Structure 1
């Protein structure tokens, strides 16, 4: 089994950190302004809202799917982040209409175990907090209570699921002041991290395998482990969103925080010189090139960490500046469409080709990632 050795990895990390510090002066004086960031966010979001005026319309790719699946939920995560910095009532109404169109429920009902179905609950609960109408919480609470009663903790067999479902548990725990939700999500998280497939987190490289199919001896064409960019991005987003919600005294918070900081180190070490990340983090030759969704999620996580005083700005700020500049200058079309977006899948070869003009099978989740990154970057610049 070919693996990156500790010494080699930490040499790469040290060089990456050193390079970031050496660029500190130039990036500290970045010319990007908060207003410029907001202009781009409004443009990309307007493109989408104009293309999809009917929030309940099913999505058609290779088949019809309802629009309350995970892809659209991630978009609304980004929209709610945009609403925080740009409180345009049209955003709120667009989100409420989406929940109403789907009766504030999940694709497969209140007994679904699929995290992809549960992702919409993050938005339902956000909107409940803004206007506590009981129907906005009822179905997702019933679903998560059903999961807890089952005693089954092995539902999250792929790392994307952590982002889709884990923040729902955290939010319910806070809203209801009930630690059962915190305790159960920790059991599910621990299964994914340390049990599923022998554990999907690799502390040596500080990165996550997407699912058990990619745990060694599986390897990329260059002999390294397969770490999928967007998959690791989902873990970043999950940890950020959970840490943003959890009380400081929650007993597992320290572990989540440590996992987050380690993952940020693992990601920083493999950023491309142009600011993007490749779809395959340790094999730039395997469908290498610019990719927006993973880049946006990593930028989101880094900007959040700097804003919270968790990450050292002298180390991570250059990476965030480069990532944002790369996405805006290379991926954003004049129309607001986002290029270099990998379509859905589970590994580097899926959703290809990833080009400036290629249209992914779903446009919504990529925009959601971009809005999350931009909204957090806006706060950083402010």
Structure 2
């Protein structure tokens, strides 16, 4: 090979390196706040226009009332957006949804199902804005029945932590009653240490199995432990939301802070080069690919931990911005629709294929995750 050819390869390689470095830098730049808020509004406006009737049932394989968990998660995100962008239309939309369901739970106050109780998070948020007893009556009655019972094995799947733990925390603060905190801890501890045999949390890898179906000896096709991205995202979100609600000296707060930090430290090195996390966290061959919901929930947790001073490692900033910029440029359509959202389920294979144009069976919770993450990143200095 002649000297000129060698020089050409070196120069070409140098140019490609500069392009790669430039793109990598741009992908990890902190989002502009005005642009970020514009994107959140765009995504939310798309949904509101599509669902003008807040009482309308959701029809997929069958008909369901719209106060189920998927819509509850959306309203969590909407209330987070309302905090940074306090528009009356957001509040009115949330109140309309609540009133259309008479501030009730899908299966009534007797339910112990965390998915049924998720709507209570928004009911309580709205109660704190306008303290009308009707807003909190049913959700309090449902949780009180659990507090008064000895049963602690209700949360058999890790999604339940996000759906219900914030409700216990909210009621504990409102009524200044540690019984809510203690019951929440008992339920959480069962899921962590006993459910499925020895608990759903792996203290060595600092990640959670989705439910008893995935504890060892279950393995991915490549022989690895199967940790579902969104499932672990729900745990991160649960911890963030209760820590944001609970007083500094609330019972077991230290345990929750440690769990959040441990999980974030485990998740950081699992991030893909393109900014996302795989749906199967430790196995990219198990339906690997871009996915919004788990990614959004992870950076929601990271951003909150940074904003509150719990985290000080700058590596997390890079991780957050890289993930957000990826979702903004590769998931958010011009009309506000969000691509790369995995449908409902409990493992990597569910809702596949997940693509830019694929529509999940429910598109509300994906938006909720997006709004939670974006609203928290907006607060970053």
Question: What TM bracket, shorter-length normalisation?
Answer: over 0.9
Q: How far did residue 313 of structure 1 move?
A: 4.0
Moved over 3 A (4+): 25-29
Q: How far apart, CA to CA, are the structure 1 residues paired with 2:221 and 2:333?
A: 33
Q: How far did residue 105 of structure 1 move?
A: 0.7
What's 1:160 paired with? 159
1:295 aligns with 2:317: no
Report the TM-score, using the length of structure 2 for normalisation: 0.92
Q: How far apart, CA to CA, are the structure 2 residues paired with 1:29 and 1:230?
A: 23
Q: How far apart, CA to CA, are the structure 2 residues paired with 1:324 and 1:282?
A: 21
Q: How far apart, CA to CA, are the structure 1 residues paired with 2:374 and 2:66?
A: 24
1:123 aligns with 2:122: yes
Q: How far did residue 351 of structure 1 move?
A: 1.0
1:377 aligns with 2:377: yes
Deviation digits for residues 207-254 of structure 1 (CA, Å, limit 9, x no counterpart): 000001000000001111000000000000000000001111113000
Q: How far did residue 31 of structure 1 move?
A: 5.5
Count matched residues: 359
RMSD: 1.5
Q: How far apart, CA to CA, are the structure 2 residues paired with 1:178 and 1:79?
A: 28
What's 2:311 paired with? 311
Report the TM-score, using the length of structure 1 for normalisation: 0.92
1:205 aligns with 2:190: no
Q: How far apart, CA to CA, are the structure 2 residues paired with 1:289 and 1:26?
A: 22
Higher CA-based Rg: 2
Give unpaired runs (5+ residues) of structure 2.
Answer: 1-20
Give unpaired runs (5+ residues) of structure 1.
Answer: 1-21
Q: How far did residue 195 of structure 1 move?
A: 0.6
What's 1:321 paired with? 321
Contact persistence 1:27–1:318 (CA under 8 A) = no
Q: How far apart, CA to CA, are the structure 1 residues paired with 2:356 and 2:267?
A: 23
Deviation digits for residues 318-358 of structure 1 (CA, Å, limit 9, x no counterpart): 00010000000111110100000000000000011100000
Contact persistence 1:344–1:361 (CA under 8 A) = yes
Q: How far did residue 29 of structure 1 move?
A: 8.1
Deviation digits for residues 162-202 of structure 1 (CA, Å, limit 9, x no counterpart): 00000000000000000000000000000000010111000
Q: How far apart, CA to CA, are the structure 2 residues paired with 1:363 and 1:29?
A: 27
Q: How far apart, CA to CA, are the structure 1 residues paired with 2:30 and 2:206?
A: 32
What's 2:9 paired with? none
